[in-house]
């Protein structure tokens, strides 16, 4: 199965800012004040387990079952 990717050129400015700040938060980037280029974001990867935990912490009102439904299409080796 091919990896799921999002090319940053598909995002408008607001979406790009949310995407990069969330990815920095999720990947625990060492310096949040540093501005990175798109190559850094394109080379980052995170596991589905980390994503699910991050979503549960960021959006506590979401039910775990709904998060699991959304993450279900991802390959099991990502868990």
3-state secondary structure 2-70: CCCCCCHHHCCHHHHHHHHHHHHHHCCCCCCCCCCCHHHHHHCCCCHHHHHHHHHHHCCCCCHHHHHHH
- Give the angle 28-76-62 at the CA atoms, nearest 5°: 60
Residue 3 pLDDT exceeds 70: no
pLDDT tens, 20-66? 888 888 877 666 667 778 788 778 878 888 888 888 998 999 999 99
d(CA 13, CA 29): 21
């Amino acid at each position: 199965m091919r990896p799921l990717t999002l090319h940053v050129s598909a995002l408008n400015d607001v979406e790009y800012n949310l995407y990069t700040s969330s990815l920095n938060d999720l990947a625990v980037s060492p310096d949040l004040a540093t501005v990175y280029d798109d190559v850094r974001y394109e080379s980052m990867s995170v596991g589905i387990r980390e994503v699910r935990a991050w979503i549960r912490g960021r959006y506590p009102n979401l039910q775990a079952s709904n998060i699991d439904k959304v993450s279900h299409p991802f390959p099991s080796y990502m868990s």
